């Protein structure tokens, strides 16, 4: 099938490359000329494991193009994905200006032939009908422009399209894997024709043709209305964020009563009704999805006269949790003014270069406010040369440089590489060999044998 993906961020680029890999003819559109030139040269503008290799393969196969020309993309695609960002506004609601611009732009360039316009961006509930209205507004603007130039009448442009909500459930750092091995595919539309085209598009993925384990049953396809599909995305992320906040709340109680949250999490996670995922206590959730989606759902509830108290509590717990590492540093080092603290990890999660709403940013800001010298080492950020606008922190190039002269280390991001560092050597380089394990990720016994004082989150001993 012919596909157009508009927006080449984490979702758009992964979607475009993976759809091309399974055999579709894809054009990716972005309004950033430098970014498009970079992609045309075969380089990915984002770090995502496995993406660069796939991207180079489909470019060589001639199944993907990159352009700034929206008209060319709209003309090419039978299926048009809107995959632009919807960042949070200060009010908590989503900033949908980019979706609006793209929807109008699609309408201004729609040609003859049936099109399926797919909302891949995470948009407020009810946006499916809104996008349809904006597309029609774009068509009307084009008609008026033609009439004004004397080149046509208002009846000359005929369009035929449907809107589908197809929320993404991609985890940064695992986005390629998640595309080929999804738990489910959600399709929201009132058009059977549009649903049939989307099922055809995803058929190789549904049949597990490109899955790591091709013996698994076919991928469940959930077909629903537009609003329910949009709600599935928000409800999924809100539940996962709440689950993390819950275990962090339990961890804080464990700290006070002498229990070990890692053992508690293991015990409750074996309950099939609960499950073990997202029960890792630590310094809170961040990134581009959880904070934005939870806030947007709270804002939607407020718009319709309902106070989402549980979701608001999850946000409050998370905000407080980001200060836990700071509190533990104060308990161990007492006065932080004049001390040096090293952060192991900067990104909000491993295997990504994304620092949007990363807990490390809050930690850096507050440590600096208290007069602490802050250093950091991140396997990706340190090597990339891109400091993401970081201030008040010295970014070191390796873990031993980080440890040198530090009064304490804080594990912020659970990068796999951090389990195999030479901690014995690092401890000798430090003024005070203390480590705050902000993810309960490291082995306490090994660190203590290496000479560290180990402090976890919600862990006894």
Q: Predicted confidence band at 461 (pLDDT cuts at 50, 70, 90)?
A: low
Look at residue 227 and tell me whether its pLDDT is greater than 70.
yes
Which residue, of 290, 320, 350, is where some domain finishes? 320
Report the pLDDT value the prediction gives residue 388, as an integer from 0 to 100.
58
Write the DSSP assignment of 99-165 as a string of letters: HHHHHHHHHHH--SSEEEEEE-S---TTHHHHHHHHHHHHHHHHHHHHHHTTS--TTS---EEEEEE
User: How far is Cα 433 from Cα 427, in angstroms, rounded to an integer?
Assistant: 5
Of 201, 224, 247, the domain-final residue: 224
Q: What is the length of the chain?
A: 461
Please report whether residue 363 resides in a domain.
yes
Are 146 and 152 in contact by the 8 Å Cβ rule? The answer is yes
CATH of the domain at 25: 3.40.50.720
Angstrom distances, CA of residue 194 to CA of 117, 160, 227, 232, 407: 9, 11, 16, 19, 60
| CA dihedral angle for residue 357, residue 358, residue 363, residue 364, rounded to 10 degrees | -90
Residues in contact with 389: Cβ distance below 8 Å, sequence separation at least 6, in sequence order: none
Nearest to 344 by CA among 392, 270, 412, 441: 412
Q: Are residues 40 and 183 in the same domain?
A: yes
144 has a pLDDT exceeding 60:
yes
Q: Do residues 38 and 176 both lie within one domain?
A: yes
Residue 406's pLDDT is: 98
**CA separation for the pair 149, 147 (Å, rounded):** 5
Task: Give a yes or no: residue 229 inside a domain.
Answer: no
Q: Which residues contact 108 (CB under 8 A, 6 or more apart)?
A: 138, 139, 141, 142
Mean pLDDT of all residues in 192-206: 98
Model confidence band, residue 124 (pLDDT cutoffs 50, 70, 90): confident
Give the pLDDT mean for 19-38: 97
From the candidates 18, 28, 289, 406, give the one annotated as an active-site residue.
Answer: 289
Q: How confident is the model over 414-430, as pLDDT tens digits?
A: 999 999 999 999 999 99
Domain count, the chain: 3
pLDDT of 256 reads: 94
The reply to whether 254 belongs to the active site is no
| 40, part of any domain | yes
* Per-residue pLDDT at 345: 97
What domain range includes position 117? Answer: 2-224
Residue with tokens 């709340």: 249
pLDDT band at 386 (very low <50, low <70, confident <90, very high): low
Residues 398 and 439 both lie in one domain: yes
Indicate if 54 and 118 belong to the same structural domain.
Answer: yes
| 302 and 327 co-located in one domain | no
- Identify whether residues 314 and 415 lie together within a single domain: no
* Digit-coded pLDDT (tens) for 267-304: 999 999 999 999 999 999 999 889 999 999 999 999 99
Task: Indicate if 247 and 327 belong to the same structural domain.
Answer: no
CB atoms within 10 A of CB 222: 12
Note the pLDDT tens digit of each residue in 74-101.
Answer: 999 999 999 999 888 888 888 999 999 9
Local confidence band at 387 (pLDDT 50, 70, 90 cut-offs): low
pLDDT, tens only, 343-382: 999 999 999 888 989 999 999 999 999 999 999 999 999 8
Mean pLDDT in residue range 6-31: 97
**Distance between CA atoms of residues 290 and 278, nearest Å:** 13
Q: What is the pLDDT of residue 151?
A: 56
* Final residue in a domain of this structure, among 224, 244, 263: 224
- Say whether both 314 and 442 belong to one domain: no
Two structure tokens written together for 381: 């950020």
SS3 168: coil
* Residues 316 and 326 placed together within one structural domain of the fold: no
What is the reported pLDDT for 150? 63
- Residue 460 maps to a domain: no
From the list 179, 237, 229, the residue with the least C-alpha distance to 206 is 179
Q: What is the pLDDT of residues 298-329, one digit of tens each?
A: 999 999 999 999 999 999 999 999 999 999 99
């Amino acid at each position: 099938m012919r596909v157009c993906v508009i927006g080449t961020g984490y979702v758009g680029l992964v979607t475009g490359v993976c759809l091309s890999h399974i055999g579709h003819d894809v054009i990716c559109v972005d309004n950033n000329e430098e970014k498009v030139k970079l992609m045309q040269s075969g380089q990915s503008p984002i770090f995502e494991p496995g993406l660069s290799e796939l991207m180079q393969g489909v470019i060589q196969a001639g199944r993907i193009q990159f352009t700034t020309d929206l008209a060319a993309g709209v003309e090419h695609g039978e299926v048009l994905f809107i995959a632009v960002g919807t960042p949070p506004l200060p009010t908590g609601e989503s900033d949908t200006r980019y979706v609006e611009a793209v929807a109008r732009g699609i309408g201004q360039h729609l040609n003859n032939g049936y099109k399926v316009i797919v909302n891949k961006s995470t948009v407020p509930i009810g946006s499916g009908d809104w996008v349809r209205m904006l597309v029609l507004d774009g068509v009307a603007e084009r008609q008026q422009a033609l009439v004004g130039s004397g080149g046509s009448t208002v009846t000359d442009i005929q369009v035929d399209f449907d809107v589908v909500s197809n929320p993404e459930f991609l985890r940064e750092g695992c986005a390629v894997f998640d595309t080929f091995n999804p738990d489910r595919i959600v399709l929201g539309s009132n058009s059977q024709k549009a649903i049939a085209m989307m099922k055809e598009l995803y058929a190789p993925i549904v049949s597990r043709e490109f899955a790591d384990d091709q013996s698994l049953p076919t991928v469940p396809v959930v077909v629903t209305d537009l609003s329910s599909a949009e709600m599935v995305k928000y409800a999924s992320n809100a539940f996962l964020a709440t689950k993390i906040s819950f275990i962090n709340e339990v961890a804080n109680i464990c700290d006070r009563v002498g229990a070990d949250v890692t053992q508690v999490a293991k015990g409750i996670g074996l309950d099939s009704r609960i499950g073990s995922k997202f029960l890792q206590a630590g310094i809170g959730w961040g990134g581009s999805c959880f904070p934005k989606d939870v806030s947007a759902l709270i804002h939607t509830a407020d718009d319709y006269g309902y106070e989402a108290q549980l979701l608001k509590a999850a946000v409050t717990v998370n905000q407080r949790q980001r200060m836990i590492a700071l509190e533990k540093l104060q308990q161990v080092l007492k006065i932080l003014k004049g001390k040096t603290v090293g952060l192991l990890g900067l990104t909000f999660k491993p295997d990504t270069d994304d620092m949007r709403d990363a807990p490390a940013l809050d930690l850096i800001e507050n440590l600096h406010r208290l007069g602490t010298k802050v250093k950091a080492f991140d396997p990706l950020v340190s090597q990339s040369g891109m400091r993401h606008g970081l201030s008040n922190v010295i970014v070191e190039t390796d873990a031993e440089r980080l440890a040198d002269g530090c009064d304490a280390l804080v594990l912020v991001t659970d990068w796999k590489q951090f389990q195999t560092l030479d901690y014995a050597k690092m401890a000798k380089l430090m003024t005070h060999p203390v480590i705050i394990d902000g993810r309960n990720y490291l082995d306490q016994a090994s660190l203590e044998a290496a000479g560290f004082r180990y402090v976890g989150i919600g862990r006894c001993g």
